[in-house]
Structure 1
Amino acid sequence: MRQVLLFFIIFTSFFAVAQNNVYNPLKSKGKLFEYAMFTKAPITDVQELITKQNQLEFQNLSSENQSVGFTSDDYWVTFRLENSASNEKTYYLETARPVTDVAYLYQLQNGKITKFSSGDGIAFEDRQVSHRETVFKVQLPQNTVQKFYLHLKSDGETLNLPLKLYTEEDFTESQL
């Protein structure tokens, strides 16, 4: 009986995670961090991460601004976004502290990987969004689900893993 109960708990937990791993800003309850997972891995190439992701121990984020403490390790966050609308949607993703050296966002779409750069160690003119914070502009084509990987690295500073997704209007308003 105990084994059956344990199997049921594991199965339903897996099913619940599988059901909730896509965040739809128009329909999902909760916040993006509740649909994301992270791992510490000595990997700097997204292709290598994708190849080895089944061997890595991804964990759920526990808060909207999770800290992993003082570190110079490489951290990866993954999440999926859905646009169920019949038109393209644009969002702004705020992540990492402004002093985080490197923040690379990778968007997977139709077998293609697009890389966006931000972070304190990235020249202002080379950032995807010219902003004092670590911000990315995310464009979601109509009726699609897009997978994202976020690579964060610092030189020993406190590293946080925030994921705040804003509509264009909300982002503009938050800057006033």
Structure 2
Amino acid sequence: MASINTQNRGYSLIELCVCTAVSSVLLGLALPSIEHIKQRQRLAAAAETLMTDLQEARSLAVSRADSVQVRFNRHPNGSCYIVHTGSTGECQCNANGETVCSNDDRVLKRTWIPSSQKLELRSNVSSFSFQARQGAVTSTGSIDIQSVDGESIRHIVSIAGRVRTCSPSGGIRHYPRC
């Protein structure tokens, strides 16, 4: 009598389909969380870059013995800020994120945040002017960087030109509630 080999040598088609379905469901549940984490990282990176640029503008004003301006613009295509020397209204960003200045030699830095990043830059003043002597700023104000899901990080510039950071919602780690 011939013996029948009943030992399994692989997976059946049904087992593979069940594993694929379970994996697809788990991946579908994880994708929104991954996108939220990526969005929060973009928000934090933009906030850190702005903080560094504000501190650098203050430092440059003192070291160069010349005032340094930080100008903010918002457009439907995105938000931007320009760090430049010269007079306050001398530079701005157009709707494509390009710098428009009466003298391009004065531009120290330009940062464009396209709307595709799902971030928006909002300032309650159009510009800051860091003064040459102590780095004081002519007008105090705050700048919010906000994501489409409502999370935001706020930078507050004091009259002394110092910047402090907080989170209006208080839900972002490492930032105190405003």
More strand by share: 1
TM normalised by structure 1 equals 0.24
More helix by share: 2
TM normalised by structure 2 equals 0.24
